[in-house]
Amino acid sequence: MTAPEATAPAPDARVLDRLYEVVTARKGADPSDSYTAKLFAKGRGKICQKFGEEATETIVAALAEGPDHVVTESADLLYHLSVLWAEAGVAPDRVWAELARRFGTSGLTEKAARTAE
């Protein structure tokens, strides 16, 4: 099975790092000027709620919509995940390092190691 062809060259994954930089820069901005700042002003509970809503919308898109809708919902989900990381004080590099640590390890082995801790 081959991957579907993209219609345009995709930017590399570093776009997520740039998104995180923009999100953190807006953390102290005026909530009336920035949706991101408004989320931060409403607190972690609201940020988590929005992330959950976007996760649900992504799932619904995957089950009932076409690939284009999955793409747009996934972008929303990643944006809200970036806001959640910034609120929780988690830099993307920490997540990338954890993914790299797990790379090449069987998912079952990795999960068993976490359960044993």
The pLDDT mean for the chain works out to 88
Per-residue three-class SS string for 53-102: HHHHHHHHHHHHCCHHHHHHHHHHHHHHHHHHHHHHCCCHHHHHHHHHHH
Q: Pick the residue with more confidence: 3 or 110? A: 110
With the C-alpha atoms ordered 9, 68, 19, 86, is the resulting torsion angle positive or negative? negative
Task: With a cut of 90, say whether residue 19 has pLDDT above it.
Answer: yes
Q: What is the mean pLDDT of residues 39-64?
A: 98
Domain at 15-116: CATH architecture: Orthogonal Bundle (1.10)
> Cα separation of 60 and 57, whole Å?
5
- What are the sequence ranges of the domains in the chain? 15-116
Task: With a cut of 90, say whether residue 105 has pLDDT above it.
Answer: no
Q: What is the mean pLDDT of residues 26-45?
A: 96
**What's the DSSP call for residue 37?**
H
Query: Given this model, what pLDDT does residue 1 score?
Result: 42
> Cα separation of 1 and 98, whole Å?
29
Confidence of residue 2 (pLDDT cuts 50, 70, 90): very low
